[in-house]
Structure 1
Amino acid sequence: MKGRPDCPRCQGQGLIFDPDPQKPVLVCGCTADVAPDAETLGLPARYREADFARFWKWWNNVQACHARALLDRVADLEDLLARPVDEVGDLEGRDDLVKLLAALKRRPEHGIRPAGADSLFQWASNGKHKFRHGWELWWIHGPAQSGRSTLAAAALRAWTERTGKGGRFVSVRTLSQAIKDAYYDVRSFQNQAFQSVRDLVEPLQDPPLLVLDDWDRMDSDLRVAAALAQLLDHRYSEELPTILTSAGPPEALDRRENHPLARLEDGSLLERLRGAERVEMVPALKPWIERMERG
């Protein structure tokens, strides 16, 4: 635990020790003003230096060879918006496209950044975003090595620094195995601490912000799905912000045969997941250009 370096009471230790050894150690009030460090957040070593500035730089380098071709199509999208509605039909998400093109006029890189990432940045860094379905739930999806976990870690760091509150970054794959081991799986016997499912899940229920990384890598065991569904139900009830990362969008869960969440037959949970704010790890202009080309 860390306190403010200039705090006269704890000298930055975050703890106040009474001269009387019989009296308890107290947590200094200045700790509320210090954002948790990477280790406290549970960030793996790979993501401990993640922040939005580093992420934007990395992403721009990755997309450099495609950026010019995408920006050259902006005029076509503006023409699409200018055409009569009875000619182009009802353009779903028209307002989002208008906002994107307006942002592009200020800074062209907005068209190259991942679709929805600017909204995630504004929410995490400035507290500015209107959630369509009430719950502060984000779904970041994209293929392997697309940067989705790094972006989630950057959002976690920015949010905790802005609010001064804590958070946790959790691998769903690792958590799934731990839950299975809690049932004394004869194939592993890894639960040497004799932890129950409650011991594993309860600490994740109330962190001010929780990142569940690789949600799609949840184990197929129905008991694992039930525990994770209960975790999300609790956070939904308490209105606690949550970020999930996955290879595909929430709708992909419905399409996967025998997926454990589908087997739970929890329509409310699936509906909440489908209502999450989306970040897709492709340049923001790309989905619009592809839609335009499909007609």
Structure 2
Amino acid sequence: MVKGRPDCPHCQGQGLIFDPDPQKPVRVCGCTADVAPDAETLGLPARYREADFTRFWKWWNNAQASGARSMLERVPDLEEWLARPEEEVGPIPFRDDLARLLTALRKRPEHGIRPAGAEALSQWATTGKHKFRHGWELWWIHGPAQSGRSTLAAAALRAWTERTGRGGRFVSVRTLSQSIKDAYYDIRSFQNQAFQSVRDLIEPLQDPPLLVLDDWDRMDSDLRVAAALAQLLDHRYSEELPTILTAAGPPETLDRRENHPLARLEDGSLMERLRGAERVEMVPALKPWIDRAGADR
């Protein structure tokens, strides 16, 4: 449904301009370009329709309240660890990332409690500022069930569409997988009553300005499902369209899962792109560094 700006003098918020001459066609008002799609248009499930960064940060901080102080008390240890000679502590992978985090903590301590990488995702969604290490605007959000990864992805989708005024889609990979299977096995399942083909299912997802593929690691084991989803990502990569994936674990776990359909595709380029995604891990940003510094002592 087309929507316009409520204060638009041309369409009075309807998004459509009706000519006094009934023989002339209805025109879409130019103000619609300034209106971000609503939650229903984005395909957000009811659970995530109110998701935004403000609500997410508040929920996350409450969930982490019990351990926040003890983690912040370890900041001096991390600063001391970073300052020690490399020949003493060995190479520290992503040393610059730790230095940036410690700098940010001096201004706002909550940066250390928020999910690792979530600040960068928020900056990208709300301001468009982020340097992608591998070129393609691809995000991978991972964490266990109930960790908030889908809510965070929905918040990023909402913020990005509000900033850009462009559209987007939120898609459950588990549901999409079943729909693809039904396209192949309709005679058995009688679920594909609209007689949609795999092409009918995938094409609408190829070109949304931003696409969230939720529970990417829960795709069906059918190799044809994996091939269709891989083709979808290939298209978005070729067109340089931003994409957000959520999963329980990091991309490397797909390689290690026995008989995983993506591994069976033997598509090295796709797996390399997934491993190169910008990461958000649903643990406090300080925790991985505290664990690593502790292991090196």
Q: TM-score, normalised by structure 2?
A: 0.97
User: Which residue type is aligned with residue 31 of structure 1?
Assistant: T
CA distance in 2, matches of 1:230, 1:24: 38
CA distance in 1, matches of 2:126, 2:169: 17
What corresponds to 1:254 in structure 2? 255
* 2:129 corresponds to 1:138: no
What corresponds to 2:59 in structure 1? 58
SS in 1 for 2:181: helix
What corresponds to 1:273 in structure 2? 274
Identity of aligned residues (%): 86
Q: Deviation of residue 10 (structure 1)?
A: 1.5
* 2:207 corresponds to 1:206: yes
Q: 1:50 to 1:89 in 2, by over 3 A?
A: same
Deviations 1:48-87 (A, max 9, x none): 0000000000000000001011111111100101111110
Deviations 1:166-209 (A, max 9, x none): 10000000111111111134442110001111111101000000
* 2:72 corresponds to 1:71: yes
Deviations 1:103-126 (A, max 9, x none): 000011000000000000000001
What corresponds to 1:289 in structure 2? 290
Q: Deviation of residue 239 (structure 1)?
A: 0.3
CA distance in 2, matches of 1:179, 1:23: 42
Q: 1:219 to 1:171 in 2, by over 3 A?
A: same
Q: Deviation of residue 132 (structure 1)?
A: 0.2
Deviations 1:221-256 (A, max 9, x none): 111101100000000000000000000000000000
User: Which residue type is aligned with residue 266 of structure 1?
Assistant: D
User: Which residue type is aligned with residue 122 of structure 2?
Assistant: F
What corresponds to 2:43 in structure 1? 42
* 2:27 corresponds to 1:26: yes
User: Which residue type is aligned with residue 18 of structure 2?
Assistant: F
User: Which residue type is aligned with residue 44 of structure 1?
Assistant: P
SS in 1 for 2:208: coil
> How many pairs does the alignment contain?
295
CA distance in 2, matches of 1:254, 1:206: 28
* 2:232 corresponds to 1:231: yes
Q: Deviation of residue 25 (structure 1)?
A: 2.5
Q: Deviation of residue 22 (structure 1)?
A: 4.1
Unaligned stretches of 5+ residues in structure 2: none
Q: 1:119-268, aligned counterparts within 5 Å?
A: 119-268=120-269
Q: Deviation of residue 219 (structure 1)?
A: 0.5
CA distance in 1, matches of 2:279, 2:185: 37
Deviations 1:238-278 (A, max 9, x none): 00000000000000000000110111111000000000000
CA distance in 2, matches of 1:46, 1:121: 20
User: Which residue type is aligned with residue 201 of structure 2?
Assistant: L
What corresponds to 1:14 in structure 2? 15
Q: Deviation of residue 20 (structure 1)?
A: 4.0
CA distance in 2, matches of 1:190, 1:199: 15
- Ranges of 4+ aligned residues in structure 1 off by more than 6 Å: none
Q: Deviation of residue 11 (structure 1)?
A: 1.3
Deviations 1:17-70 (A, max 9, x none): 234444332211110011111111110000000000000000000000010111
CA distance in 1, matches of 2:207, 2:27: 22
SS in 1 for 2:139: strand
CA distance in 1, matches of 2:22, 2:224: 46
SS in 2 for 1:245: strand
Unaligned stretches of 5+ residues in structure 1: none
* 2:82 corresponds to 1:81: yes
SS in 2 for 1:7: coil
SS in 2 for 1:2: coil
CA distance in 2, matches of 1:188, 1:23: 47
User: Which residue type is aligned with residue 77 of structure 1?
Assistant: L
